Amino acid sequence: MRVLVTGAAGRLGHEVLPRLLDDGYTVRATSRRPRTDPGVEWAVTDLGTGAGLAEAVADVDAVLHLASAPTPGRRTHQVDVLGTRRLAVAAERAGVGHLVYVSIVGVDRVPMPYYRHKLAAEQVVAAGPVPWSVLRATQFPQFLDELLQASSRFGPTIGDRAILAQPVDPGEVAARLAARLAAGPLRGIEEYGGPEVLRFDEAVRAWRAARRSRRPLLPVRIPGRLGRTLRDGGLVTGALPRGERTWADYLADTYGGTTGK
């Protein structure tokens, strides 16, 4: 099977490409800039304008759509919503048999602008003519790590201690996507999360221990509907199966030593 992977240069893309190659797929990958990689054919495309899309989808059997623009302003709408529509149209014209879209657990619950765009992109895929699947994944541990680093810039780690998170390893998400490609179109939404649900304060304690840091946690309660949704589990899922690699596994791999709580 020949598979086109959009957004292949991103964090998930770096896990997806070798996984698909190991599974015997022929892979074409897209990027906004020219790239080279053994075993992968790279195509220069821009979802924001549609440039290069027709050439990218030509002669492929399936599209794995990872590309996203989680930035403030109009570009998110241009890439995630309008770009997904452009991709779906080009895929239909090329006779693509399966469009797999990667989304985020909570896009239908968490009131954030970026999540609204992701939900709109899901709806574009579901309404389009190409047989489809949507995989919603929980947050990657790298994202949680970066969030904690940013929230500790001025000394203490600042955050709402009762927010719930469920980190999932991107390599395990890549494996799930490969399985979805092999299974064919779901014409529905699948959710996939990590093995454990953590409170923010639990995640911070383990992170501090792994980094041998004495930074205190400064609790700041996120107000309004957003805070309530995050504390009520808007970012987590009970769906099975789940990944196996834990937050502690990630911390041990990244920082070494103990991840005691």
Q: How far, in Å, CA of 221 to CA of 18, rounded?
A: 41
Question: In the structure encoding, which two tokens stand for residue 236, read together?
Answer: 């987590």
CA 239 → CA 43, 44, 61, 129, 193, distances in Å? 35, 36, 28, 27, 7
Q: How far, in Å, CA of 108 to CA of 121, rounded?
A: 12
Cα-atom radius of gyration of the chain, to the nearest Å? 19
Listed residue (235, 233, 236, 231) closest to 219, CA to CA: 231
Q: Is 202 inside a domain boundary?
A: no
Q: Is 208 inside a domain boundary?
A: no
Question: In the structure encoding, which two tokens stand for residue 189, read together?
Answer: 């939404």
Q: Is 30 inside a domain boundary?
A: yes
The pLDDT of residue 257 is 59
Q: How many domains does the chain have?
A: 1
The pLDDT of residue 261 is 43
Instruction: Return the CATH number at 70.
Output: 3.40.50.720
The amino acid that residue 2 corresponds to is R
With the C-alpha atoms ordered 248, 253, 254, 257, is the resulting torsion angle positive or negative? positive
Domain that holds residue 29: 2-138+169-192
Q: Is 66 inside a domain boundary?
A: yes
Q: What is the pLDDT along the chain (261 residues), one digit of tens a residue?
A: 999 999 999 999 999 999 999 999 999 999 999 888 888 999 999 999 999 999 999 999 999 999 999 987 789 999 999 999 999 999 999 999 999 999 999 999 999 999 999 999 999 999 999 999 999 999 999 999 999 999 999 999 999 999 999 999 999 999 999 999 999 999 999 999 999 999 999 999 999 999 999 889 999 999 999 999 999 999 999 999 999 999 999 999 999 855 444
Q: Is 248 inside a domain boundary?
A: no
Q: How far, in Å, CA of 188 to CA of 49, rounded?
A: 28
Q: Is 109 inside a domain boundary?
A: yes
